[in-house]
Structure 1
Amino acid sequence: MSKKKYTIQNRPFVVPTTDGKVIKEHFGIASTGNSKLSIAHMIAPPGWSEPHQTPEFDEYTFIIKGKKQFIVDGDIVVLNAGESIKIEKNTKVQYANPFSESCEYIAICMPAFSIDLAHRA
C-alpha cells in the first residue's frame, strides 16, 4: 500500500486568544508540526489590533471579507476583500482592524508563524 500524497485538514488548531480574534491554524507548528510554512484562517473583530512586530518570516495575507489595516515601516495600508499583500521578513509591521465590521482573512507565513519569531514590541 502506498503512502497518500495529500493531507486533508478538517481539525485546525484553534489558537486561544483573549482579544476576540479567531485563529484557526490549518498547517503549521501548532497544528501539524511543520516549521517551514503556516496557513491560518482568521477573523479579526472590529476595533482589534496587535502590537508592532518585526517577524523573522514572510507573511502573505489575503482578505476574504471586510478590510484590514497594516502599518508597514510607517506606511498605512488598507486592504479590502479580494486584495492581498506580502510583507517581507524583518519588516516592522502592525496589524489592526479599526473598522466597524469584522475582517476575515487567510495568513500564510514562511517559515511558519511562531511567537518566538514574531518579535512583538
Structure 2
Amino acid sequence: MKKYRIQKNPFVVPTNDGKLIEEHFGLASILSELSIAHMVAPPNWSEPFQTPEFDEYTYIIKGKKQFNIDGEIIVLETGESIKIEKGARIRYSNPFNSPCEYLSICLPAFSMDKVNREE
C-alpha cells in the first residue's frame, strides 16, 4: 500500500456568493485530520462573523484579503500569511476591486458544525 495520496480532483464546494472553494484534503474530499483548500474570493465579497473551533492558516497567493479578528482589522497582501487560533471571532472579506486567491489550512479539518457562523 502506498504511503501517499495525490489529489487531482479536489471537491468544489457549492457556494452562492461567487467564491471558489476547492478542497484538496479534508472532510469533503480525501479524508484528512486537517483541511487544505484553494480559494478565490471575488471583489467586494464577505461572509458573516464566525467563531471557529479550529485553527486556520491563510496564505495569500494573489491580491488582498481583510480579516476582522475580535474587532481588529488586518489586511494581508500577496505573499503574507496568518494563523488565527480557534475561538477567535472573525469575519473574512475582500472589500477590494480585485479577486483574492489564497490557500486555507484548518486544523482540525473545516466543518460547518464547528465554524459557528452568526446569522
TM (norm. structure 2) is 0.98
The corresponding residue for 1:82 is 79
String of CA shifts for 1:33-77, please: whole Å, max 9, x gaps: 22x200000000000001000000000000000000000000000
Matches within 5 A, 1:1-121: 3-34=1-32, 36-121=33-118
Distance 2:28 2:67 in 1: 25
Distance 2:12 2:61 in 1: 19
Distance 2:69 2:78 in 1: 19
Count residues in correspondence.
118
Distance 1:91 1:101 in 2: 27
Q: CA RMSD in A?
A: 0.5
Distance 2:102 2:89 in 1: 20
What's the secondary structure of 1:116's corresponding residue?
Answer: helix
Structure 1: gaps (5+ residues): none
CA contact (8 A) 2:7 2:30 kept: no
Distance 1:47 1:116 in 2: 26
Distance 2:44 2:8 in 1: 29
Q: Which runs of at least 4 in structure 1 moved beyond 6 Å after TM superposition?
A: none
TM (norm. structure 1) is 0.96
What's the secondary structure of 2:52's corresponding residue?
Answer: coil
